[in-house]
Amino acid sequence: ASVTLNCEVEHPSAGWRFYWYKAVPKLSGDSYSYELLPGSSSGTEQDSYMVHGQTHTAGYVCRAGRGDPVFYTQYSELRLVWSADVDPAASLTVSPDRVQHFTSDSVSLSCEGNSTEWRVRRFPEDRSLSCPSKWRMTGSTCKISTSQSSAAVYWCESGSGEFSNSVNITFQNDIILLSPVLPVTEGDPVSLSCKLTTENLRFNVEFYKNDKLVQSDTRLELNISAVSKSDEGFYKCKVMKESAQSWVSVKLSRPGVSSFLVPLITGLVCGVFLIILLMLLFCYKKSKGEFFFYSLKPKNTDLL
């Protein structure tokens, strides 16, 4: 899809030209290097810039300049444009695979992609998470093992400019809803569970979607046999205490090559079979007509 970026100067006036950059993470620190986007080396008169055909998540900044020699403003804040591609170039996975965790849990974040060097960032606290102290890095995996962690959005960045998907992670004390971190594919089964720090004493368990009660009995699970877009929403559970709510995202299934080949092959087979059937029918009618014509001929030609 095409994405339009807009840049604003604090005190607008004539003469400003706008420069547009793609951000590339510098793994040696918390900063980024900036690469000029095509067509903006001399700046643009317009305060907007259109990015065509963005396929993966990317970060952008802008700045303005005027005069000769050019006086530049500071760079703008980084803005990430998240891609909804079902097959991202980089991915962040969470173990255990759920949004909500108990404060005593140890949570691992893994970065995967074409790069071998990664850093993990989170929002709020817009800074990279270096693994010493509270964080430990093993290869491309960071571990959170602290009861002081708070709710945040996490993602991975590589030195080659890759940005992963983002994930939400929250920490609770007494009750959590077990729900998938990443979007689930339409048509797949989904199970949401309610988990407590203490044993469940068979109290009534309530599940809510967008604050509306959808199930109320002693079952600790809410099962959806084939998830659809209509199942997308905020879910929570309640067993005396109420859990935080988590967003369950549903992505459309992308048809593969096999799904196109099956109807194609079926159509070809049916077409060939129909052609053969028509040819046989034509031959049968033709032979029957010749026999009928032959039977009408007089047997004794002397009578003619």
Q: Tell me the average confidence (pLDDT) per consecutive run of 10 residues in the chain, 304 residues long.
A: 91 89 84 91 94 86 94 93 75 90 86 83 62 48 63 84 87 91 92 86 88 94 95 94 93 57 62 76 62 49 45
Instruction: Check residue 290 and give its pLDDT.
Output: 53
Nearest to 84 by CA among 186, 169, 166, 181: 166
Q: Does the domain formed by 175-254 have CATH 2.60.40.10?
A: yes
- Tell me the CATH architecture of domain 84-173: Sandwich (2.60)
CATH fold match for the domains 2-81 and 84-173: yes
Instruction: Check residue 304 and give its pLDDT.
Output: 42
Domain boundaries, the chain: 2-81, 84-173, 175-254
Q: Does the domain formed by 2-81 have CATH 2.60.40?
A: yes
Instruction: Check residue 268 and give its pLDDT.
Output: 73
Tokens for 304, please give them.
């003619």
Instruction: Check residue 212 and give its pLDDT.
Output: 96
Q: Give φ, ψ of 302 to 5 degrees.
A: -70, -20
Task: Read off the amino acid at residue 125.
Answer: E
Burial 202-220 (b: 16+ CB within 10 A, else e): eeebbbbbeeeeeeeeeeb
| DSSP 8-state assignment for residue 132 | S
**Cα 177 versus chain centre, distance:** 21
Would the pTM count as exceeding 0.85?
A: no
Taking the C-alpha atoms of residue 123 and residue 121, their distance in angstroms, rounded to an integer, is 7
Taking the C-alpha atoms of residue 55 and residue 113, their distance in angstroms, rounded to an integer, is 15
